[in-house]
């Protein structure tokens, strides 16, 4: 029963930076995720944590109380571990500069981008929700405060990406570039134990996840792919099934384990796509490729897209390479 810390030390040769700093970084992530786990698991019992905060966030969305709690939990835990120099959060318009004392000038190199609680509209109806995180090494000189350029790096520069899914169990899933591994929280001892070693997409995926209510607003290529999935089950022995819970982390986690494609294309309501590039799509795309799959905007590899704005949106598709390539073929032929 490997703990997360033991596993990181066991695999330290795969990480090009200090193991001690990686452990401190994960210590922050674990601390915040345990606090959120506790609140999520009693959300139905206390008025003070469910429902809307009454605030509209930077995205123009109705911020849930737990969104705000999760945002604060991660900011405070990163500040306390003296290893992060800047944070961009879905819940904050601008990036957050963290000025830690620098005993060692090489410390505080890490930049964290985070969606503290994705899918939070599901909190009050007890559907899985998740935190998504993405980590880079700063580019700006270490003597200075971080700059916007530190946050607008391409996804192929990530050194660590992952999510925590708060569902029937709380599971932390991450990759540093040597495969995808999942650790399940044992709440009785507050420890994450290795439960999913080397997660990878099954070659044959049979699940497609998309909000089909937007069908009339999709491009021809997307509509053709949906009809392809719905075609007669016996043709070429295809037997697809639709699964969509309105929570990216929940849909992705299931699809990576059981084999399926997640699609959020641009549509009339979201002409640039709905999902945000730097703290939702890039980390999930990093995990997708590490799990043997493919992630694009329907044409371009997500990890190669150069971000221009902090909260930039993009069309997003991720899943088994075969399924994503099939969708891209339809989009290529039909637009
Ligand atoms: P829709 C949640 O708000 C989210 O960002 C993803 O987690 C989820 O997959 C998607 O949006 C759901 O969006 O438009 O289908 O409700």
Tens-place pLDDT, residues 222-250:
999 999 999 866 666 668 999 999 999 99
- The lowest-confidence range among 30-34, 40-44, 165-169 is 40-44
pLDDT at 105: 56
- The lowest-confidence range among 5-14, 147-156, 203-212, 232-241 is 232-241
Q: For residue 26, what are the contacts with CB-CB under 8 A and spacing of at least 6?
A: 4, 5, 8
pLDDT at 233: 65
Q: Which atom number of ligand 1 is nearest to the Cα of residue 245?
A: 9
SS3 per-residue string spanning 242-271? ECCCCCHHHHHHHHHHHCEEEEECCCCCCC
Distance between CA atoms of residues 83 and 102, nearest Å: 9
- In this structure, what token pair is assigned to residue 7? 């596993």
Q: Which of 144, 44, 54, 152 is nearest to 99 (CA)?
A: 144
Query: What would the pLDDT profile of 102-121 be if each residue is shown by its tens digit?
Result: 666 556 789 999 999 999 88
Residues 186 and 287 in one domain: no
Pair 37, 128: CB distance under 8 Å: no
Q: Which atom number of ligand 1 is nearest to the Cα of residue 121?
A: 3
Q: What is the percent of the chain with per-residue pLDDT over 90, rounded to a whole number?
A: 75
Residue 48 CA to ligand 1 centre (angstroms): 24
Query: What would the pLDDT profile of 93-103 be if each residue is shown by its tens digit?
Result: 999 999 766 66
> Residue with the nearest Cα to atom 16 of ligand 1?
246
Judged against a pLDDT cut of 70, whether residue 292 lies above it is answered with yes
Residues 230 and 135 in one domain: no
Within 13 A of 255's CA, how many CA atoms are on the CB side?
A: 35
pLDDT at 33: 98
Judged against a pLDDT cut of 70, whether residue 63 lies above it is answered with no
Pair 52, 67: CB distance under 8 Å: no
pLDDT at 51: 65
Q: What radius of gyration, in Å, describes the C-alpha atoms of the chain?
A: 19
Residues 46 and 165 in one domain: yes
- The lowest-confidence range among 38-47, 83-92, 210-219, 288-297 is 38-47
Mean pLDDT computed over every residue of the chain: 91
Q: Which atom number of ligand 1 is nearest to the Cα of residue 275?
A: 5
Residues 122 and 266 in one domain: no
Residues 219 and 244 in one domain: yes
pLDDT at 321: 97
Residues 276 and 241 in one domain: yes
Judged against a pLDDT cut of 80, whether residue 15 lies above it is answered with yes
What average pLDDT does the segment 182-201 reach?
97
pLDDT at 18: 87
Query: What would the pLDDT profile of 203-227 be if each residue is shown by its tens digit?
Result: 889 999 999 999 999 999 999 999 9
pLDDT at 59: 66
Query: What would the pLDDT profile of 243-277 be if each residue is shown by its tens digit?
Result: 999 999 999 999 999 999 999 999 988 999 999 99
Tell me the best of 116, 118, 167, 251 to mutate to test the pocket of ligand 1, counting ligand atoms within 8 Å of each CB and taking the most: 118
- Final residue of a domain: which of 181, 198, 215? 198
Residues 143 and 228 in one domain: no
Residue 257 CA to ligand 1 centre (angstroms): 20
Residues 242 and 192 in one domain: no
Q: Assign residue 248 the CATH number of its domain.
A: 3.40.190.80
Q: The domain containing residue 94 runs over which residues? A: 4-198
pLDDT at 101: 62
Residues 70 and 178 in one domain: yes
Residues 39 and 64 in one domain: yes
Size (the chain), residues: 335
pLDDT class for 142, splitting at 50, 70, 90? confident
- In this structure, what token pair is assigned to residue 182? 């999942």
* Pocket of ligand 1 from Cβ distances under 6 Å: 118-119, 211, 246-248, 251, 274-275
**Overall domain count for the chain:** 2
For residue 333, the tally of other CB atoms under 10 A from its CB is 10
């Amino acid at each position: 029963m490997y703990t997360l810390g033991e596993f990181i030390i066991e695999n330290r040769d795969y990480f090009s930076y200090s193991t001690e700093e990686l452990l401190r970084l994960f210590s922050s992530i674990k601390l915040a995720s345990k606090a959120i786990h506790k609140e999520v698991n009693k959300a139905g019992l206390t008025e003070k944590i469910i429902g809307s905060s009454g605030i509209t966030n930077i995205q123009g969305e109705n911020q849930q109380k737990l969104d705000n709690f999760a945002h604060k939990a991660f900011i405070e835990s990163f500040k306390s571990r003296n290893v992060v120099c800047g944070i961009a959060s879905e819940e904050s318009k601008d990036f957050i500069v963290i000025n830690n004392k620098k005993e060692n000038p090489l410390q505080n190199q890490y930049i964290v981008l985070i969606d503290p609680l994705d899918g939070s509209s599901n909190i009050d109806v007890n559907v899985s929700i998740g935190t998504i995180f993405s980590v880079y090494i700063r580019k700006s000189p270490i003597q200075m405060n971080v700059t916007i350029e530190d946050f607008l790096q391409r996804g192929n520069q990530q050194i660590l990406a992952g999510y925590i899914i708060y569902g029937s169990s709380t599971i932390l899933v991450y990759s540093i570039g040597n495969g995808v591994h999942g650790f399940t929280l044992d709440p009785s001892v507050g420890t994450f134990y290795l439960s999913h070693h080397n997660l990878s997409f099954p070659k044959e995926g049979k699940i497609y996840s998309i909000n089909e209510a937007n069908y009339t607003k999709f491009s021809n290529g997307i509509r053709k792919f949906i009809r392809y999935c719905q075609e007669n089950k016996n043709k070429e022995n295809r037997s697809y099934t639709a699964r969509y819970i309105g929570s990216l982390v929940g849909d992705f986690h299931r699809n990576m384990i059981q084999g399926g494609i997640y699609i959020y294309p641009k549509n009339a309501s979201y002409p640039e796509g709905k999902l945000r590039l730097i703290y939702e799509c890039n980390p999930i795309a990093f995990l997708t490729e590490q799990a043997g799959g493919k992630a694009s905007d329907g044409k371009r590899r997500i990890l190669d897209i150069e971000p221009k704005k902090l909260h930039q949106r993009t069309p997003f598709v991720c899943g088994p390479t075969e399924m994503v390539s099939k969708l891209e073929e339809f989009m290529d032929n039909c637009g």
